[in-house]
Every structure is written in C-alpha cells, then in structure tokens.
Structure 1
Amino acid sequence: MDGIGVIGSLTLDQLTILVTIVDTGSFSAAGRKLGRVQSAISQAIATLESLQGVSLFDRAGHRPVLTETGRALVAQARTVLESAERFEAAAARARTGVEPELVIAIDPLVPTAPLMESLRGLAVAYPNLPVTFSTEGLGGSLRRLRDGTAAIGICLLLPEVPEDVTARAMMRVRMRPVVAPHHPLASLGRPATRGDLEPHVQLVLSDPVDTERGNYGLSSSRLWRFVDLGRRMDFLLAGFGWCRMPEHLVEAPIAAGQLQYLELAEDPTPPEGLAIYAAHARHRPPGPAGRWLLAEFWRHLVMDKLVAE
C-alpha cells in the first residue's frame, strides 16, 4: 500500500510494522524487509504501545515476544490491513472503469460446468474483483436484475425476453419427462396422454414469489410446487410424482435405474430445449469484468458445443 494512512491515533504504517515483525520473527528482520533501520522500527512500536495504552511485546528476554494482548491485536491489525488493501484495489478498479463488484444470479436449471470454468478465468483476469454468486429460485434472477441487486443473470426468460432486459441466448437445456420406476405411470406401456397424467401429482419448479408466474407445461390437476431443484429431485426419486427435468441432471439416475424416461403423447416443451440467456437490465449494462465473463462463458460453450444455433 502507498502512503501512511491514519486511523484515529494510529497509522497503517504502524500496523504494517507490527505485522512484519511477527512475520519475520524480529525487529531487525522487519527493518531489513521494510528498508528501515532497527531504531525506527522500535520507535514505531513504542509509539503504537503508548498511544493505545497497551504492551504488545514482552521485552524481558533476549528477544521481544508478543504478549497475549499483542497476539490478539496482531490479528486485528491483519484484518485492518487486508481491508485497506481491498479499499485501494476497489478505488484502482474504479479509476480504470472496472465495476467495484460483480454480482451474478443464476437460475436452477442452468448447467454450471461452463460457467465455473469462466469464473476461474475471471479470478485470474481480475484477481481483486469481489464476485458474488447466487442460485435463485425460478424467476429470481430476473427480479434481481430489475431491482439492481445483480449485474448479470444466467436464466430462463419465459415466455419471451422482457423489453427492459437485454439478453443473449447462450445455450439450450433439454427437458425430459421422467418418473420413478415404481410410479404407476412407469408401467403404462405407451405414450402418456393428458388424461393419463391428470390424476397424478406433477412436481413443478415454481417462482417462490409469484407462484402463478411461469406455469408452463402443466398437465396434471394436482401440483406440488418446489423452489429448490434438489428437493424436487428427492420427491421424484421417492415416486411422489412426475416432472420434466434437465437432461444433464437425470442422466446418472437414469443409468442407475432410479428414474426412467416418460414418453408423452403431447409435450409442449420445445424438443430442442429451453433457451438459457445471459441477461442484464437494459439501462444497466455490465462493466469490463462482466463483459469479459460473458465473452469467456460464450467461448466455453462454443468449445463444448452447447450453444443453440
């Protein structure tokens, strides 16, 4: 960090000296690392002790040793210095136009492998950028874009892209009707009609705020609604009902015999899959780091041949 910086009656320089003494093992070693004479190091610590009214080192022995108070305050000093470094890094990013933080919201149906690879690259390209990542319930990503609490949403936009959102289709997720092998529909022996489906529970992934929003592909009169995809999978495996699941999430249970595909006589879900968008509020475009992430995400999808043509 450049500059001394003053916090109340102490300085960041004093805290740096204290931490360096502990890390290097002695006053003289700290002086060599910081390019100071030992007397200046000793004076800085003496001043810090006097101002704070505490004893940081026990000087009774051959080499000063941290007191109990000193050990506790060293931990606090590290926290203060780390916070100051984050402050300086955020200011530096602001000077270059990089967003102070990047908040990403993702829908539960989105495959995460290509996004994880892109996030690893982001950590290298922008090592000091605070990134917040959260998986939202269905519809949650769009809400966060609209209220400004997320810069980027990786999400479904059904039935169409809203006018206040800018979005690019990144991939498609194929949805497959599935059911547990011991469920009555599993032994039907033919494509299930709407009449076959109607008396059975359909396990629906639902918007936790607006349960009537996004009701697409409903075929049963009995609906059990879920916000969490994993919880819905538990009930699906237990045979409580049927539902459409992302193909990439049911491949393993299908192979293990825990689930089986359910053929439908009429299925309104697009056979090519549902479009997953990278989106942002139209009046709040992402900054350089956000744009970099989206470009890298797209590159990974192209490499993995997941992009919808």
Structure 2
Amino acid sequence: MIGTLTLDQLRVLTTIAETGSFSAAGRKLGRVQSAISQTVTTLEDTQGVTLFDRSGFRPVLTDVGRVLVAQAHSVLASAARFEAVAAGTRAGVEPELAIAIDPLVPTAAFIDSLHALRTAFPYLPVSFSTEGLGGAERRLRRGDAALALCVLLPSVPEDVAALPLLGIDLVPVVSPVHPLAGLDRPVTAADLDEHIQLVLSDPAAPDGPSYGILGTRTWRFVDLARRLDFLLAGLGWCRMPDYLVAPYLADGRLRPLTIEGDPARATGPLTIYAAHMRNRVLGRAGSWLLGELQTRLA
C-alpha cells in the first residue's frame, strides 16, 4: 500500500493501457473482467479522477489517465528495482557499488567492463567518480568507494588488497614548437632543468610521492586533459601515457624525447591496480567486476 494506492492497482491500470481493454487485461493477469473493473473503479474513487472514458465500445484513457499511466509505469519500475536490490542483497550482492578511478587509468576497457556489469547485475546501483592522482585511494580509506582503479605510490600499502591489472608506459614528449624538440640529440638533466616540466600531482598532497620528476621548474595539474592542452601549446614537456599520446606522435603534433640516463626507464611501466581495503571484503558484484577487468586486460 502506498497511501491510498496499491501496486496491484497500478499494475492493473498499466495492463489495461497496454492491452486495450478490461477483458484483455483480465486474461493477461489471470482474473475475471469484473475484478478488473472493480479495481479500476476503486482506484478512480480513491483518487477522485476518471481514468477511462467508457462511453464507447472500448475504454479510452482520459487525459489525466494517460498522465497517470506514465506515472504508474515509473512507480512499478522503482518497485521492481527495490525488490531486486533486496533480493540481490540476500544473495550476497552489495546494495551499491561505488568505484573511484585515477586519471592515468585507460577508460576503454573499463567502460566495456561496466557494460558487462550492467548486464550481469541490471538492478545494481553503481556510483562512479574520477579523482585526481591519489584521490581514489583516499576514497577507499574514507569508505566512500569499495573499489579503486589506481596507481599506488611508492608501493602497495599493507592494508590495501591490490590486484595488478596492467602496466602503463609513460613516455617523455614535447611539442615540436618547444626548444627541446630542436635538439638533435638525447636531452640531459641540465637541458631539462632550463624548462618547465608539466607534472600530474595529487592536489591534496602536492609534496607526496611522485614519478619521473627531473626538473626543478614544475607546473602541477590534476587532470590529464588540461595538461595535454598545455603540452600541445609548447608550454613545457612531460611524461604521458603511451596509449594517450600515440595519435599525437603519429601525426606530428608531439615528438618523443630521449632523456640521457633517464631513471624512469629503469623502473619500467607504472602499474595500475584494482584495489580495495583488506578489512572491507567486496560483495558479489565487486568481485565479479574485478574478475571481468582482469580477464579483459590480461
């Protein structure tokens, strides 16, 4: 019962609208026509409206009837989601799955996995947030996210369960209009020290762990897109994910830099993890998504 309504009344109303008659609705719902008529009459009386014009051979929705049928569909859909979430929770599915993602994570495979998650758990409420560097881990620790796709620097904390998903090569690049692009040799630390390095940083901890910073002159950015704009404009050099800059290198809008004695080359690719707190075990949907991501990115 919802106030003076019942879900059954709304179901009868929408079924009549779909089938076109009281008798057809009765057949679909397995009830006699008189029961359908009585349900509609009760609904009209309690709401003080006329839902159907019965003057013709078939009942025709009134203007208010058409509006209320649309509302009834919405209420019934919400009720179905309510029941599905409750049933899923009884079966071990979390009532909501909150996911946070760092800016360096490539999104294509993740989007495909989210589509698959929606198919596997169609009624699961999913919340999603993109974070600055380090933000996804903070959301995990605050309990605002159950799962994070993130970089963990300088290493994986002991209280975080982290599954390595893929490695990201960060390649040093520069605009062809930048002075460093005109050097016909590997650049040195002294060369780089004269120019601005565009750095992706954690806005909440700007002096925290960093990766691949060589120069003393840095401009700090929270998101990759803004940093890419500055890079293409020739305002500095930086390390960018290879998957992101590949088309710009191919068409000449960016050029690769070879750095003499680059310490980042020795450390190899930067690892992207799927992480959750060890003391908060993932539910069925989160575990399913974790396996899906691992399979898709393998």
Common topology (TM > 0.5): yes
How many residue pairs get aligned? The number is 297
Partner-residue secondary structure (3-state), 2:104: coil
In 1, Cα distance between the equivalents of 2:136 and 2:243? 21
**Residue of structure 2 aligned with 1:244, choices 239, 246, 264:** 239
In 2, Cα distance between the equivalents of 1:220 and 1:140? 24
**Residue of structure 2 aligned with 1:220, choices 215, 219, 227:** 215
* Structure 1 position 194, deviation (Å): 2.0
Letter of the 2:50 partner, please give it.
S
User: Where do 1:64-213 residues align within 5 Å?
Assistant: 64-213=59-208
- Kindly indicate whether residue 297 of structure 2 is the aligned counterpart of residue 282 of structure 1: no
Q: Tell me what 2:259 maps to.
A: 264
Task: Name the TM-score, length of structure 1 as normaliser.
Answer: 0.90
* Structure 1 position 249, deviation (Å): 0.7
In 2, Cα distance between the equivalents of 1:290 and 1:91? 17
Q: Which runs of 5+ in 2 are unaligned?
A: none
Shifted more, 102-111 versus 243-252: the winner is 102-111
In 1, Cα distance between the equivalents of 2:204 and 2:17? 52
In 2, Cα distance between the equivalents of 1:282 and 1:81? 38
Deviations 1:120-147 (A, max 9, x none): 3323332322222332221111011111
Q: Tell me what 2:10 maps to.
A: 15
Partner-residue secondary structure (3-state), 2:264: coil
User: Where do 1:34-45 residues align within 5 Å?
Assistant: 34-45=29-40
In 2, Cα distance between the equivalents of 1:7 and 1:230? 48
* Structure 1 position 15, deviation (Å): 0.6
In 1, Cα distance between the equivalents of 2:83 and 2:63? 31
Partner-residue secondary structure (3-state), 1:269: helix
In 2, Cα distance between the equivalents of 1:251 and 1:26? 61
Shifted more, 266-275 versus 14-23: the winner is 266-275
**Residue of structure 2 aligned with 1:52, choices 37, 44, 47:** 47
**Residue of structure 1 aligned with 2:294, choices 270, 276, 298:** 298
Partner-residue secondary structure (3-state), 2:105: coil
* Structure 1 position 294, deviation (Å): 1.1
In 1, Cα distance between the equivalents of 2:17 and 2:233? 57
Among the aligned pairs, what percent are the same residue?
A: 62
Partner-residue secondary structure (3-state), 1:171: strand
In 1, Cα distance between the equivalents of 2:71 and 2:261? 64
Alpha carbon RMSD of aligned pairs, Å? Answer: 1.7
* Structure 1 position 270, deviation (Å): 4.4
CA contact (8 A) 2:4 2:46 kept: yes
Deviations 1:79-116 (A, max 9, x none): 11111111110111111111112222111111233333
Letter of the 1:90 partner, please give it.
V
**Residue of structure 2 aligned with 1:62, choices 44, 51, 57:** 57
CA contact (8 A) 2:20 2:58 kept: no
Deviations 1:8-29 (A, max 9, x none): 1110000111111112222222
Q: Tell me what 1:305 maps to.
A: none
Letter of the 1:297 partner, please give it.
L
In 1, Cα distance between the equivalents of 2:262 and 2:36? 76
* Structure 1 position 213, deviation (Å): 2.5
Task: Name the TM-score, length of structure 2 as normaliser.
Answer: 0.94
